[in-house]
Amino acid sequence: MSKVRTRVGAVIAALFFLLPAVAAPVGAQTGSTQALSRLRGVNRSGTEFMCVQNRGIFDGPSDSASVTAIQSWHTNVVRVPLNEDCWLGLNGVNSAYSGENYRSAIANYVSLLRSKGQSAILELHWSDGTYTGNGSSCSTYGASCQKPMPNSTHTPDFWKSVAARFKSASGVIFDLFNEPFPNSVVSDYTQAWKCWRDGGSACPGFPYPVAGMNSLVQAVRSTGANNFIMVGGLSYANDLSQWLTYRPSDPMGNLGASWHSYNFNYCVTASCWNSQIAPVAAQVPLVVGELGENDCGHGYIDTLISWLDSRSLSYLAWTWNTWDCRSGPSLITNYNGTPTAYGAGFRAHLG
């Protein structure tokens, strides 16, 4: 989710996280993942949109005190959304907020998070590709809104660059693409999953060349990075029903599913979680990158988190920003950590 797009279709979820121990280099592990850490934390939105809107890099403070406020909620992970154009310095983004200036700002923030005992999830939120179909919130080619799939022109290069920069950093996780929704373009459901995995010619009807999740995993691994990789499914990462069938291939065996869960998604009942989500979590690490609700309350997340807690799964809430608790949904009213009603409900689960 992002400030520009109300959380329609976005999903925050919980994950049973399998990743190298936070104290050890992420790149040190080979072979299949191990269940070592349970992560519970928040998303910190802003770095996906501020730069491309020529407003800076962070929305709100990114200093030590602001991270201490997050830490005071007893979190141990923060998810940081990224912008493809800002990272790569493309499509006329102000150089003050893009290229090496942007990359260094993100790297410094990750270092700060790690110094405060927080793991960092880096995820591609906004990317290139002209798309004006169902679910579109902009008509521009550049990375100024959410797109249904990553593009093959720049996204593999983005992940090669990110992976090369953080492959020796401990406690850094890669979330390949925030919320895929290729099924809004490819009407055949099975074909949409093939598009998701393979990209290219498997994506009929797309107005730009698509990079599949397989190619992005390969881009990361080509750098020698062994960081844990999260991959979200269809329907804004809320649909994992065919994830195991079409799971991307990872030569390092260090990959899991990302799930998003909001009260306005389709998979919002324990029956759906038991039938679609639990089987995935039983076979691979399941990362819940976003969870939330758009009514300023916490009734939905209370039920969801109870389900997640009963399975010792990890979860991150959207979002640690001082926006409206409905359209955010936002956890806080100020960066000292004063919660909204929704945020107070979430914080109560963290202890």
DSSP character string of 105-136: HHHHHHHHHHHTT-EEEEEEEE------STT-
Confidence of residue 109 (pLDDT cuts 50, 70, 90): very high
pTM of the predicted protein model: 0.92
pLDDT in tens, 63-95: 999 999 999 999 999 999 999 999 999 999 999
Return d(Cα 37, Cα 111) in angstroms, integer.
19
Q: What was the pLDDT predicted at 18?
A: 29
Question: Is the pLDDT assigned to residue 28 strictly greater than 90?
Answer: no
Return d(Cα 340, Cα 323) in angstroms, integer.
10
Return d(Cα 98, Cα 89) in angstroms, integer.
5
- List C-alpha distances in Å: 173 to 48, 70, 231: 17, 19, 11
Question: What percentage of the chain reaches a pLDDT higher than 90?
Answer: 87
Question: Is the pLDDT assigned to residue 7 strictly greater than 70?
Answer: no
pLDDT in tens, 125-182: 999 999 999 999 999 999 999 999 999 999 999 999 999 999 999 999 999 999 999 9
Return d(Cα 214, Cα 265) in angstroms, integer.
26
